[in-house]
Structure 1
Amino acid sequence: MINEQELQQLVETISLESFGRPFLHQAKINRRLKTTGGRYQLSDHHLEFNPLFLKEENLHYLPGIIKHELVHYHLHLAGLGYQHKDRDFKLLLKKVGGSRYAPRLEESKRSRWHYRCRQCGQDYWRQRQ
């Protein structure tokens, strides 16, 4: 698992290589992120990343997620359309090869509750009780 310093360095490197612009803010690990790979903060321009994607077995997803968040970052600072629906966003994301969606990980797929119908025997796996 990589730490915040390594993450910061990786984001800065990808920003220079893929966008030709420096990343001047902070890249952070946010343990509360569960369903997304990362998040761009409009208020302070920091990037936050899901710690599940920083584990060794999931590191191959990380460059695509970083590029996705950097597209939000650079477009917002340039005053262009930075939202998923905007044409500027879609074009730049495709150009740099960023991930459109966060991949679904095995850890997040786990169901916690198992129910079985008493009449027909059908199994139901649920995340909520």
Structure 2
Amino acid sequence: MTNEELQVLVEEISDRFFQLPFQHKAYFNPRLRTTGGRYMLGSHNIDINRKYLVEHGLDELIGIIKHELVHYHLHLQGKGYKHGDQDFKDLLKKVGGPRYCASLPESTKRKRILTYICSKCHLQYERRRKINTGKYVCGRCRGKLLFKKEELIEFRA
């Protein structure tokens, strides 16, 4: 689906479910990572995460569009457009939009752990960033710090 097809889809959903025109831009934003879509208060544009279309299909995408259009139309009408506002909850229920979007499959990320050890008291320090062992000393005994090891730990994001 292209940005032009997305624009047409958003306009059709707006007309069909809200009986109001969508007069701004809707486009796929490749920088979105943790959310399905985003309504921009300043420009009134809607950004959509393409990964949700690829991973979950058109039905999930339509739900995300409905959710963002609720923000859009309520904001332009001067009503409560935030998630906690009653106007938002009521209109979302009326148009059948989801409160939250489905989660994307979890990706595995790596975290670097650097271990330093004090030469006097043998206290271990774990850090994510390298430290200058010529400048910094042990906080307990002021002993010299020595680099011990570096590990890469995988975790679910």
Q: Any gaps of 5 or more consecutive residues in structure 2?
A: 112-152
1:74 aligned residue: 73
Q: % of aligned pairs identical?
A: 53
Shift of 1:28: 1.3
- 1:35 and 1:87 map into 2 onto residues whose CA distance is 25
Higher strand share: 2
1:52-103 deviations in whole A, cap 9, x for unaligned? 0232752220111000000000000000000001000000001100111121
Higher helix share: 1
Which is bigger in relative contact order (C-alpha 8 A, separation at least 6)? 1
Q: Any gaps of 5 or more consecutive residues in structure 1?
A: 115-123
Q: How many residues align?
A: 116
8 Å CA contact 2:71–2:88 kept in 1: the answer is yes
Q: TM-score, structure 2 length as denominator?
A: 0.69
8 Å CA contact 1:111–1:125 kept in 2: the answer is yes
Aligned partner of residue 52 in structure 2, secondary structure: helix
- 1:83 and 1:56 map into 2 onto residues whose CA distance is 27
List aligned pairs for 1:1-129, cutoff 5 A.
Answer: 2-55=1-54, 57-106=56-105, 109-113=106-110, 125-127=154-156
8 Å CA contact 1:52–1:58 kept in 2: the answer is no
Q: TM-score, structure 1 length as denominator?
A: 0.83
Larger Rg: 2
CA RMSD of aligned residues (A): 1.8
Shift of 1:13: 0.1
